[in-house]
Structure 1
């Protein structure tokens, strides 16, 4: 078979599989990923390793949940795997359905397979509708449903994402069973290190910053790098570095772009303060909300201040 040398090369995207996961729903939001190769993997580490080692061009991973907070496995992987850059973020509503093999009725269900996180987010509904049920933990939201299809699970029903119904022959017993109707998971698309896309005015910058040796006020000093430049933080999460007790790194999402004067100045301050700063990327916010800040922190103010200092150094007369 001959290969057309002018045919476009298809890109490969890794995501937490199998088909039907929330991660697949996030990847479906990426216009440039459509009609490309989607590579299902078993965990976040494998997805990011695909990118680092060149098997994939990018990976979609969950980074934060509005109910459970930051995804620690993803945060730790980004802190320890060099050569990665976040290039976009995507939001997926977290809705759950209760499914079973065809013919099973809701009143037949006494044993439910579910990932522990999904189970915890549906417990109120389950306690009301199936008060005498028991729970079997599953490895993932999709695995819970696949197990009852394959017969390897003793459960009569499973908690799964709505997308599962597009890929498997299952009976829908109930939908919208999550206790928090506003639950959302935030996903990020990660590539190898590239230049940040141009600022849009509705951007976010992600960083991982280690504190220097422990002393009173160290965290306050870190936060002041942003506060004194008018930068809002939408995420601040601590993770242990792991080499000894009491040593932490902080995962940070800051409103703005690295090309903004105030953000660039904050990064310079962090670099002087911290033994290790990992720049994960500046990228458009998923909600496209314009970042607002006081006028005294505009780019023009920073540029004018630098010009003023330069004039003082060169001996120019005061204006």
Structure 2
């Protein structure tokens, strides 16, 4: 049975995402996002499920850095989960003076905590599930967790469905070593990371390669190159699949402009939104144009 490492421990939103992306497969929690990725690179797991971005708190830096460094991994599918939390306490908990959770989770329930537990001190932990463990061990009075946590930890549900932003969502990726890619679906996402030249207009040049081919940008994030202060990698998500002529042409152009490019995957989008195609930028347009150039080179067309 395939083994899927996920950012754990048990009882996190990542476990919920892994359940949906790898149904029936063996799930193994990892202590950190880098540890889940290392398990795949080392052959200890067939895939890793990790968070990539949250609609409230933005990109997950550990995932971005892990994708850019060490051996290559590619995303083969994604999940989009609504992020509504549960607040768990011990059965014998008295006055709640401390509330523990991952910093992203605390940020997403800050107003709820101010309104419902105004005297409680927020405490950051490594994960929402780690907060549940700490409450179970008596270190803190309450934990803000994923709803699935109550299946693993014998705690009392003080509140559930908690979220300051009702439609907050987190996107998760299933990562594997490079291999056969998912087939194009018509509603795909392609991702790359590029360390652009440190010169005027270098980022604009990369994005222009997408724009002139009518390719819609989905996401752009920057992370510093740790060994070079003031230099950055750019994580770029855009519509389409690398198997499509227009997308393949764009990725080749990015490679020409910037030798340090890593392909991070092409796979169906979790929201199912179809790729937008401007007039003259469809795959048939690119194929017809390439065929015409080939005919000109053979002396068959003018």
- Tell me the distance in 2 between the aligned counterparts of 1:50 and 1:17: 13
Give runs of aligned pairs for residues 117-156 of structure 1, distance below 5 A.
117-151=104-138, 153=139, 155-156=140-141
Other structure's SS at 1:279 match: strand
Residue 36 of structure 1, CA deviation: 2.5
Q: Does 1:200 align with 2:189?
A: no
Residue 62 of structure 1, CA deviation: 0.5
Q: Residue 62 of structure 2 corresponds to which residue in structure 1?
A: 73
Residue 210 of structure 1, CA deviation: 1.2
1:180 to 165, 179, 200: 165
1:313 to 288, 293, 297: 297
Q: Which runs of 5+ in 1 are unaligned?
A: 1-9
Residue 317 of structure 1, CA deviation: 4.3
Residue 113 of structure 1, CA deviation: 1.8
| 1:105-149 deviation digits (Å, cap 9, x = unpaired) | 6xx222222222211211111111122222222221011111111
CA 315–34 in structure 1, closer or farther in 2 if over 3 Å, else same: closer
Contact 1:103 1:171 in 2 (8 A): no
Other structure's SS at 2:20 match: coil
Q: Which runs of 5+ in 2 are unaligned?
A: none
Q: Does 1:27 align with 2:11?
A: no
- Tell me the distance in 2 between the aligned counterparts of 1:241 and 1:317: 48
* TM-score (ref. length: structure 2): 0.96
- Tell me the distance in 1 between the aligned counterparts of 2:230 and 2:98: 42
Q: Residue 7 of structure 1 corresponds to which residue in structure 2?
A: none
- Tell me the distance in 1 between the aligned counterparts of 2:248 and 2:301: 29
Moved over 6 A (4+): none
Structure having the higher Rg: 1
Residue 189 of structure 1, CA deviation: 0.2
Q: Does 1:275 align with 2:252?
A: no
Give runs of aligned pairs for residues 1-319 of structure 1, distance below 5 A.
10-30=1-21, 33-104=22-93, 108-151=95-138, 153=139, 155-212=140-197, 214-318=198-302
Q: Which moved more, 1:283-292 or 1:183-192?
A: 283-292
| 1:41-70 deviation digits (Å, cap 9, x = unpaired) | 101111111101100000001111111111
- Tell me the distance in 2 between the aligned counterparts of 1:86 and 1:11: 17
RMSD of equivalent CA atoms: 1.4
Other structure's SS at 1:50 match: helix
| 1:63-89 deviation digits (Å, cap 9, x = unpaired) | 111111111111011101223111111
Contact 1:13 1:39 in 2 (8 A): yes
* TM-score (ref. length: structure 1): 0.91
Contact 2:216 2:276 in 1 (8 A): no
Q: Residue 6 of structure 1 corresponds to which residue in structure 2?
A: none
- Equivalent pairs counted in the alignment come to 302
| 1:228-271 deviation digits (Å, cap 9, x = unpaired) | 00111111001111222221111111100001111011011111
- Tell me the distance in 2 between the aligned counterparts of 1:180 and 1:138: 22
CA 317–185 in structure 1, closer or farther in 2 if over 3 Å, else same: closer
